[in-house]
Amino acid sequence: MPTDMNTAKHYNANAEQYHQHVTNPSDSIFHSQYEKPAIRAELPNLEDLDVLSIGCGSGVDSRWLADNGARKVIGIDISSGLLDIAKRENPDISFLEMDMEKLDFPDESFDLAYSSLAIHYVDDWTPALKEARRVLRPHGTYVFSCGHPIDTAVEYTKDDQAKYAYLGRKIELETGKRTIFGDYLVVKDGGVKPIEGTLGDMEVVVYHRTFGKMIEQIRSAGFTIEKVVEPQPAPDMQQANPDMFEQLSRIPAFMIWVLKK
């Protein structure tokens, strides 16, 4: 199933706000002090590489890729609102409205595919990965980040006092009664479980899948897995937000995959 309509609608309706968020490092520490340093550390030397930025949003990553040596960068996204900002801010880079499941490029057009926190919006990765593999040149690399399945498996609740995200069990001492929180293995709709409202108040639909499903879908697209990274937050987060630093040092939110054609 492709990206949920609500996700594209949300990004269009909140495009300027999203761009402000991702360009303010102290506001978006999940990006600036966690995911971006981790994914960038896995990139090859960009010199002489033609790069496709998949789910490019407002173009922040595409700018970084171009400024860090890539020969050519093309960004694609399904949100016309975010693409308008990307074009406005980066007139020297090409941005196209396109779905990652149907890339309108000839075979073997790019050396590197890059995608930051976008693939978890489609419920079966295989079609999107097959497309990325098709447009990569022989021995090309796909580096992408996504939600960590430990994080997407949790159960969200809230009361007047707090918000809770639980994965685990409660066993009552007297009766032995078990209460289970969260779903890691529950397989619905062909193996994935949509989770709504996981990103704060964002009205987007992210799909949970187990590690096993991720590996199965990557292999069925024909990629070889070169590396899997479960990143630690950057050291600067310890001072900027010690609570979040501790959380992310103990429980991952994102992960990075490095695949080879």
Ligand X SMILES: C[S@@+](CC[C@H](N)C(=O)[O-])C[C@H]1O[C@@H](n2cnc3c(N)ncnc32)[C@H](O)[C@@H]1O
Q: Of 15, 219, 36, 51, give the one whose Cα is nearest residue 117.
A: 36
Buried b (16+ CB within 10 A) or exposed e, 201-212: ebebbbbbbbee
Q: Measured from the CB of residue 147, what is the shortest distance to ligand X in angstroms?
A: 10
Q: Measured from the CB of residue 8, what is the shortest distance to ligand X in angstroms?
A: 6
Q: What are phi and psi of 154, to 5 degrees?
A: -70, 160
Strands 193-196 and 178-181: unpaired
Identify which of residues 21 and 166 has a Cβ nearer to ligand X in the complex: 21
Q: Which residue has the tokens 């078990």?
A: 178
What residue ranges bind ligand X (CB under 6 A)?
2-3, 7-8, 11, 22, 55-57, 60-61, 76-79, 82, 99-101, 116-118, 121-122
Identify which of residues 127 and 181 has a Cβ nearer to ligand X in the complex: 127
Report which residue's Cβ sits closest to ligand X.
57
Neighbours of 198 (CB within 10 A): 18
Q: Measured from the CB of residue 202, what is the shortest distance to ligand X in angstroms?
A: 9
Q: Measured from the CB of residue 160, what is the shortest distance to ligand X in angstroms?
A: 30
Identify which of residues 94 and 157 has a Cβ nearer to ligand X in the complex: 94
Identify which of residues 7 and 210 has a Cβ nearer to ligand X in the complex: 7
What is the distance between the alpha carbons of residues 74 and 53, in angstroms, rounded to a whole number?
6
